[in-house]
A and B are shown apart, each in its own frame.
Chain A
Amino acid sequence: MASHAATADEMGMGGYSSPQPRKKGFLGWANKWTNADSYAPSEKGKKTTKNKALWVFMVLALFLVGTYAYYWAASPGGQRSLVQAKNLFMEYNPATWYQKQIGKAQDIGNIWSSEPVTAEKKGILFESFKPTGSEEIPQGSIALFTYGLKLSNADVARTPLTLTCEIKENNLQGQILPSNPMYVTGTRITDNARCRLPKEMTSALSGTVEVMGGVSFPFKTEDVRLKVYFTSRAMEDSLPSGEDLFSYMHIGESQPIRAEYKGEPIEIGLGVSTENIQPVVLDETSNPLVGITINNRWDGNMTKLTSLKLVLPRELTINQELSANPNEICPFTLSRQGRETNEYKASEEFISAFTLASERLRSFECWLDASPDMLGNAPYMVKEYKVDAEYEYELPKKTSTITVRKIASAEEGTDETGEVVNPLI
């Protein structure tokens, strides 16, 4: 009985099972069809049929989708989208990410950060790079691309923006309009920056063409100030147990005290020690420290550190013996001694070749000497460290794709591969 039902399944008869012994031969089968009540489908049979139907449906759907995808990928629009998708994937490539992490792991040592005061970026933003007009052009016509540039949260004085525009395939450079560099003044970018591929250039192109636009500019992270509280060892030792200077004096400061970060491409962090806990206690056995961390917070690259300036209170000077400066850790040399401040500049020798990729950072630290009469009879005193940095910054390049169509004559109607094309003119 059981073997009989199994045979029916194997025969692909939908898994009908018989409640009674079935006669072999034609009569047996005829009996099946004439006595429907006796051959109700089993649960297993129902499932098998459903699976088969689903399988057929999926194959059909895959065939339809595949056919559509093939023609879509072969179309100019599809090819452009594929190139764009490939570029996007490269940005999030796990290998690239891992390489970046390895780079970051090398950023060892003291790291000082600053307190973000705004979520907005401050500087030049490169928001888009798009073809002006159609994404499909005929060979020998001019192609134009527009740079979507924005000056965010900043007021700049005649800043030169260096624009680049290059065909990825053959590294040919497009022409930048209205000028290169393009100067930006004030709080807005009023000029419409474009890249022009002249006729001669597009005549030599066909198919999907990738054009890369780039922007670099000089910028400053300036007026980065760290409030530094100094106190004497005697004062520190006389504080009630469990209290520090801030709780004792009711000064509302939260540790660590940090400088402000206003959204520039480069963040400058300042600190007074590895732990960066204030106040700085002045005594004969230790020297104060100033620590500076330069951190690339945007996605681009700092291609050059043009200038790095450190301003200390008049009572503090860099201890050249301890710091052994100028060197790569403390590259500063005294540039100006004011009535209230000592100004130091980083020696070009140590910073000229200094670049910083995205999310990478670099710290400098110098040991200081404090004047013995710095505190006088004061239980504590508040001073300030200040840093200004000037640098060249290159924003991540943006790629745009166009399709350059070969022009077929009206007579021919086919291109060199024999494919039928529509004349564009």
Chain B
Amino acid sequence: MKKIIILLLAVSLLLAGCQALSNIKLPKSLPGLSSGEDTGGSGSISAYFVNPKQGGSALKDYPFSPVVRIKSLGGYESDGQVCISGLDREIFSGFSGCECMSFKQEKDESGKFEHDDVSFGPYTLRIKQDDRKEHVVSSVTRFEYGNEIKANISISRDAYENTGCTASINSATSGPLVVGIVEQETIPITEDIVTLIFKIHASKAEEGRFILEENLNDQCTPLSSEKLPVIRARAKGFPTRAPVTCRDVEITGNDVTVVCEAKDISLIDSSGSALFGDNYSPEVIFELRYFFETTSSARFTVS
């Protein structure tokens, strides 16, 4: 009997412990780490053929109009152009070999994006009985895109005692780049002046490649590979008049670090009083901007 009572007590204690654990509220995010919330969707510009569909067909006696469906899946209002190629000019009469159309993705009143169907042609299909049946059409979509990172930065009233003064991300929109972490470093210049360094770490998360801004409107010509594409960044809403400058970053791999610098921030006003409290942590918006290219193809038959 004793044993049963002991066993029951042990089980009760175990259950109670589990209940207590479930009531513990873990922090939503760790300092400097992306919370994953409010990313404004996931992905960047989605561009794919809705006509013809992959593995679909086109009818030979009907006008043929390829359609590329464009939609911004991230949070950035984007514009760019989509070019199609691959169709045989001898068969798709009226097709020049490469044709381009521009598009613009803007949020509607509810703050969401509607897809945009970019239509080409129509082309006349000059198919004889003996002609081939399988064809390929490809699209190259080039566009501007960006990420918006809302982060709380930290300014300490003591230039030398700033341990624990870090930045943390509140929200970040997604795109071809995904922002992982924002680091802050406080460098005391004098006892009343500091310089803040912010390092935004991001990595490429989409298929496609970064392009130069000058290549955005290139129509079907091969892209120059001599220069490296760059990411431009800026900071908005910084609480002091100190200029915040962000360096352009050349993209050489999948991981990038954008560095922004708020130079010579005075911690006191003209009367010598401290400008900031002990836990001053204002929200700053960092904006990354770059140009990107994606491709897609559809194989289809003509019958």
Q: Is the CB of A378 within 8 A of B86?
A: yes
Give me the interface of A with B, judged by CB distance under 8 Å.
225, 227, 232, 234-235, 237-238, 240, 248-252, 313-314, 340, 375-384, 386
If A313-B90, A382-B135 touch, whether A377 touches B97 (CB-CB below 8 Å) is: yes
A378 touches B220 (CB 8 A): yes
- A234 to B221: give the CA distance in the assembly, Å: 9
A377: chain B residues within 8 A (beta carbon): 96-98, 219-221
Q: Known: A377-B96, A377-B219, A379-B98. Contact between A248 and B90, CB under 8 A?
A: no
Q: Once the chains are docked, how many angstroms separate the CA of A252 from the CA of B134?
A: 13
Inter-chain contact B97/A235, CB cutoff 8 Å:
no
Chain B residues with CB under 8 Å of chain A are: 85-86, 88-91, 96-98, 126, 131-132, 134-136, 138, 140, 209, 219-225, 295-297, 299
Most buried by B among A235, A238, A375, A378: A378
- Closest chain-B Cβ to A244's Cβ sits at a distance in Å of 13
Q: Would you call B85 and A379 a contact (CB within 8 A)?
A: yes
Name A's interface SS.
Answer: mixed
Q: Can you identify 21 A-B contacts, CB atoms within 8 angstroms?
A: A225-B132, A227-B134, A234-B222, A237-B225, A238-B224, A238-B225, A249-B86, A249-B297, A250-B138, A250-B296, A251-B138, A376-B89, A376-B96, A377-B220, A378-B85, A380-B85, A380-B138, A381-B85, A381-B97, A384-B132, A386-B132
In the assembled complex, how far is the CB of residue B13 from the closest CB belonging to chain A, in whole angstroms?
58
Q: Is the CB of A251 within 8 A of B97?
A: no
Question: Nearest-CB distance from A389 to chain B (Å)?
Answer: 16
Residue of B nearest to A252 (CB): B299
Q: Could you tell me if B295 and A314 are in contact, using CB atoms closer than 8 angstroms?
A: no
CB-defined contacts of A250 to chain B, threshold 8 Å: 138, 295-297
Whether the Cβ atoms of A379 and B96 lie closer than 8 Å is no
A225 closest partner in B (C-beta): B132
Contacting residues, chain A, for B225 (C-beta < 8 A): 237-238, 240
Partner of B90, one of A238, A240, A314, A375: A314
Query: B140 — which chain A residues lie within 8 A by C-beta?
Result: 249, 379
Residue of B at shortest CB range from A340? B90
Contact present for A251 and B299 (CB under 8 Å): yes
Contact of B86 among A232, A240, A314, A380 (CB under 8 A): A380
Q: Please indicate the chain B residues that have their CB under 8 angstroms from the CB of A249 in the complex.
A: 86, 138, 140, 295, 297
Q: Check B136–A382 contact: CB distance below 8 A.
A: yes
CA distance A384 to B225 in the complex (A): 31
Docked complex Cα distance between A424 and B91 (Å): 75
The 4 closest A-B pairs by CB, nearest first: A238-B222, A378-B97, A376-B97, A251-B297
Chain B residues with Cβ below 8 Å from A232 are: 222
CA distance A227 to B224 in the complex (A): 29
Which residues of chain A come closer than 8 Å to B219, judged between CB atoms? 377
Q: How far is the CA of A136 from the CA of B89 in the complex (A)?
A: 70
Measured CA separation A251–B138 after assembly (Å): 8
Contact of A252 (CB < 8 Å), options: B98, B222, B297: B297
Give the Cβ gap from B19 to chain A, nearest Cβ, in Å. 52
A376 CB contacts on chain B under 8 angstroms: 89, 96-98
A383 with B88: in contact, given A225-B132, A251-B138 (CB under 8 Å)?
yes
Compute how far the CA of A382 lies from the CA of B89 in the bound complex, rounded to whole angstroms: 10
Which residue from B90, B91, B98, B297 sits with its C-beta under 8 Å from A378? B98
Contacts of A237 in B (CB 8 A): 222, 225
What residue in chain A is nearest B95 (Cβ atoms)?
A: A378
